[in-house]
Structure formats: C-alpha cells, structure tokens
C-alpha cells in the first residue's frame, strides 16, 4: 500500500509540474501585461504567422526612407509603434523595438531624409514631414494587411530629437493613440528664446556649435549653421508648451534623465496638464541621455504604461 501511495503521489506531482511548466510557457506568449516575459523570454512560435522583420522603403516627398518593420508573431492585427530616432541617430533604441515586438507590437523604424543613407536633404522640417509620411503609409490598407498591423492603434515613441518630432506630429495628425517621449529635445530653441533679439545671433552661434559637436557625419544636405537658423526661424511654432492645447486628448508618457533636458520636459508636462490633459505620466531616470545603464528599467516602464492605455 505504501508503495502504491508513493507511486500515486509521484504521478500527481509530475502532472502538477507539467501543468505549471505549460502555464509558464503560455505566460511567455505575447500579451499586454507580460512586461517581464517580453523582456526576458521569447514568445511561443506561431508557425502560421511567425515574428519577422521587413526591410522597406517608405515614400516621403519624392524620396524613399530606409526603414525596418519588426512584425510581431500572430495573425494580428497588431498595435503599431512608430520609433523616431534622435540627432543624428546614434542611439536607435532597437532593443526597445525587439521588446515591443515580443509583447505583440509591430514596430516601424526609419531614417529621415538625408540621414544614414536615406536620399534627400536633412532638416528638422523634413523630419516632421517624414514621420507624417510614415503614418500615411501605414494607413494604406495593403501595407497594413502585409504587416498584420492595426494603424488605428498607433503610438509614437521618440528619443531626443525624435521626441521633438513626436510632439510636433501628434499636434498635427489625427488618430495618434498615445505618445512616449524619452528626453525629448527642443534642439536648442530654449537657449535661443531666452536671449533678447539683439543677442539672437550669438545664441544661434552657440546652438551651431552644439549641433556640430553632436555629429553631422551621418547627415546630408545640411550644415550646423543652417539647422540652427531653421530652429531660430521656428521659435514660436516649435515651442513645446504652445503645442499643449492641441494635445489634450492624447495620453502622454514623458521620460527624462540627467542630461539637462528635464526642465523643458517638466514644463511641457505641466502645460499638458494645465490644458486639461488628465492622462500625463512622467518618470525621471538617474542616467545619461541614452539611458545607457537603465535600458531594462526603461523598457519595463514603457511596457507597463502601455498596458494601461
């Protein structure tokens, strides 16, 4: 009898362990709320609709933007994240793209006109236009079907200058589901705006020096001075707080770091709330501009917030 009981106990234990293992495997499948799984474990393979990556070219004002699309596993349609890189784009945040794909998102990444081999001339105005062109491309039914994407569930994610682009595009474009900015940069406009008009040339010179230090090698058809003058010419139009009244209905996650950009982002968050946006979340990371030693924390924060949309 004791041997029989021992055998039955061992059998029950093995069945329980197998059940737990199966449940654990299922928990790794792409789903909202599975932040840790999306970061640390691969999803179950969907042989009919596997995760993949497409190299594409997105048309924008006569040029073709060199682009990548990370397509999530499953038939979809999947929500979509448009990932906007900074100036000049050394940190692409493609680890975040991989994590979002494991969590069930399609992610579109592109290089602006004149950046990193994409034909055309680089300018801040062109960056805004290119992001709008990418959104229009995603709304093409044939494109959405091929990517198993749902463009009505579109989130903008912008780092540094990409945060600037995300803010501008969200204020001008209908149907943006939410915006996440990581150290959104006003690109030196704040330093120009703070000086009296008679000293504006000196401020533009300082911004020119700053842009040159950031690295112009990957950019074509532009100069640091020309870009600084473009910023000076658009002070009123591109000022973060002035965009707030146009963004009262869009959920915002504003992330900052120890790179000197937190004050302008905090002011923008306050302007959004002051304009009646009740879905504004903020978080500060003690790290550098690239969130270099907070990459996992950054991904957890973004995924956690996206689950609450």
What CATH number is given to the structural domain containing 170?
3.40.50.1820
- Checking if the pLDDT of 37 tops 70, the result is yes
pLDDT, tens only, 208-240: 999 999 999 999 999 999 999 999 999 888 989
Question: What H or E segment, with its residue span, contains residue 283?
Answer: strand 280-284
Indicate whether 32 belongs to any domain: no
Calculate mean pLDDT across residues 24-39: 50
Expressed as residue numbers, the domain containing 219 is 46-307
At residue 7, the pLDDT reads: 39
Which pLDDT band, with edges at 50, 70 and 90, does 257 fall under? very high
Indicate whether 190 belongs to any domain: yes
Residues 205, 232 contacting (CB under 8 angstroms): no
**63/292 Cα distance (integer angstroms):** 33
Indicate whether 28 belongs to any domain: no
Calculate mean pLDDT across residues 133-161: 98
In the numeric block, the tokens 């008679």 are attached to: 198
Indicate whether 178 belongs to any domain: yes
At residue 128, the pLDDT reads: 98
At residue 43, the pLDDT reads: 86
- Checking if the pLDDT of 111 tops 80, the result is yes
Residues 303, 309 contacting (CB under 8 angstroms): no
Helix (H, G, I), strand (E, B) or coil at 289: coil
- Checking if the pLDDT of 93 tops 60, the result is yes
Indicate whether 3 belongs to any domain: no
At residue 200, the pLDDT reads: 82
| Helix ranges, 28-84 (H) | 35-40
Indicate the number of domains in the chain. Answer: 1
Indicate whether 94 belongs to any domain: yes
Indicate whether 41 belongs to any domain: no
- Checking if the pLDDT of 137 tops 50, the result is yes
Which pLDDT band, with edges at 50, 70 and 90, does 35 fall under? low
The terminus-to-terminus CA distance of the chain in angstroms comes to 57
At residue 27, the pLDDT reads: 36
Which pLDDT band, with edges at 50, 70 and 90, does 3 fall under? very low
Calculate mean pLDDT across residues 82-91: 97
Calculate mean pLDDT across residues 228-256: 94
Indicate whether 6 belongs to any domain: no
- Indicate the average pLDDT of the chain: 89
Least confident window among 24-38, 146-160, 176-190, 262-276: 24-38
At residue 171, the pLDDT reads: 97
pLDDT, tens only, 182-213: 999 987 677 787 788 878 888 889 899 999 99
| Token representation of residue 241 | 């707080």
Q: Which residues pair with 159 in a beta bridge?
A: 182
Least confident window among 28-37, 69-78, 139-148: 28-37
- Checking if the pLDDT of 51 tops 90, the result is yes
Calculate mean pLDDT across residues 273-302: 98
């Amino acid at each position: 009898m004791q041997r029989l009981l021992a055998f039955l106990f061992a059998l029950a234990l093995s069945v329980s362990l197998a059940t737990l293992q199966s449940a654990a495997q299922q928990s790794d499948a792409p789903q909202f709320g599975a932040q840790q799984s999306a970061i640390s474990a691969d999803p179950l393979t969907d042989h009919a609709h596997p995760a993949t990556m497409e190299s594409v070219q997105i048309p924008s004002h006569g040029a073709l933007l060199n682009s990548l699309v990370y397509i999530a596993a499953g038939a979809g349609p999947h929500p979509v994240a448009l990932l906007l890189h900074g100036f000049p784009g050394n940190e692409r945040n493609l680890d975040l793209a991989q994590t979002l794909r494991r969590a069930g998102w399609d992610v579109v990444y592109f290089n602006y006109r004149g950046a990193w081999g994409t034909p055309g001339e680089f300018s801040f105005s062109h960056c805004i236009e290119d992001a709008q062109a990418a959104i229009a491309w995603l709304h093409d039914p044939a494109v959405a079907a091929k990517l198993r994407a749902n463009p009505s569930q579109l989130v903008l994610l912008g780092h540094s200058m990409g945060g600037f682009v995300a803010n501008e595009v969200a204020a001008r474009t209908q149907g943006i589901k939410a915006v996440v900015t990581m150290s959104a940069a006003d690109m030196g406009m704040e330093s120009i705006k703070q000086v009296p008009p008679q000293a504006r040339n000196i401020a533009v010179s300082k911004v020119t020096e700053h842009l040159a230090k950031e690295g112009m090698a990957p950019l074509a058809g532009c100069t640091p001075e020309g870009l600084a003058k473009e910023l000076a010419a658009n002070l009123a139009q591109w000022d973060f707080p002035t965009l707030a009244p146009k963004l009262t209905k869009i959920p915002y996650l504003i992330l900052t770091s120890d790179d000197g950009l937190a004050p302008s982002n905090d002011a923008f968050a306050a302007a959004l709330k002051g304009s009646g946006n009740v879905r504004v979340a903020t978080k500060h990371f003690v790290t550098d501009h690239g969130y270099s030693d907070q990459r996992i924390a950054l991904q957890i924060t973004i995924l956690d917030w996206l689950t609450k949309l």
